[in-house]
Amino acid sequence: MIKNIDINDLLKLDNFIPVIDVRTPAEFEQGHIYGAYNIPLFTNAERVQVGTTYKQVGREQAILLGFDLTGSKWSGFIRQALDIAPGKKIAVHCWRGGMRSGAMAWALSLYGFDVYLLQGGYKKYRRWVLDKFEDKFNIQILGGLTGSGKTRVLMGLKAKGEQVIDLEGIAQHQGSAYGSMNAMVQPSQEQFENNLAAQLEHLNKSQPVWIEDESITIGKRFIPNPLWRQMREARVTVIRVPLEERIKFLVSEYGKLDKGFLKECTEKIWKRLGPEQTKNAILAINEGRMVDFIRIVLVYYDKTYRTGLSKRKPEDIIEIDCPDADATANANLIITHQFKLVS
């Protein structure tokens, strides 16, 4: 059985229905529905071949070529679908809900699957994603100088039942010049937006949503403008952690990273640090003086953060003094303060 379904109905289904994306691996890598599986009807090269035939010869010849290319693959497609959805309920889509997804839906239905065919395909989903950023949320910004442990505090708030969006986690980057941690690989901009929209979809809009204070870019990824504007207009709770405690925290986070990586990242911000401070920072890295290295670069990052904070309305800024970077304790301080505000 094949049932046409739109993206809103698909997301509202009570029981999770696995989604398979039959576009090419290249299309899937560029961006896909959050949680979807890729069973490509064509390889990247085959899709180019079919597209060229469609343009130069015609639709019917392109269809015949498509069947020639996939003829021996169909049993494999069905086996992959069975691995993904052993209960034989599955959703299928391609770019616009056209021939690729239609062919896959037909084959799976013939085998006995209940198939939900996504109308409008991935193109329609992308429209849904962009529209999601226009929704209004009760955003609460968590601020603080570098080394305050804001991301860990976010997780502490989440553990207490608060709604949290971890932008750095979604972007796979910790925001600074050193933010990849020499390990994380960022998703494409498109996939970053898809993953973010999927998390926003599950929020209660009337309840607070905690988001870390970020610049509009996280590594090479941009926060969508509608959400960014809401973040800039939201109230900011700034946790004030003493400098020495922040240095201690950052040494524990970055001190064990490869020295070559740290030096390379430091050299990228030499114009902001200045030649003398850059030289001193790299020397400290070479000599294993991580405390000195962190202290040097914090001068730049603290100045940058304070400049950004100064552009907000003073009445929208709440400051909470924290003795150290203990995430659980600081999350409790924030919740206590929020309770006082509403009581």
Q: Which amino acid is at 115?
A: V
Q: Are 241 and 320 in contact, with CB atoms under 8 Å apart?
A: no
Q: Are 227 and 132 in contact, with CB atoms under 8 Å apart?
A: no
Query: Residue 77 to residues 40, 41, 90, 147, 324: CA-CA distances in angstroms?
Result: 9, 8, 13, 49, 55
Residues that are catalytic:
94
Widest CA span in the chain: 72
Give the tokens for residue 5.
Answer: 């379904």
Q: Are 104 and 23 in contact, with CB atoms under 8 Å apart?
A: no
Q: Within 13 Å and on the Cβ side, how many CA atoms surround 301?
A: 22
Determine the Cα–Cα distance for residues 60 and 307; give it in Å rounded to an integer: 62
Determine the Cα–Cα distance for residues 111 and 227; give it in Å rounded to an integer: 44
**Nearest-CA neighbor of 129 among 68, 63, 190?**
190
Order the strands of the 235-240 sheet from edge to edge.
Answer: 163-165, 208-212, 138-143, 235-240, 317-321
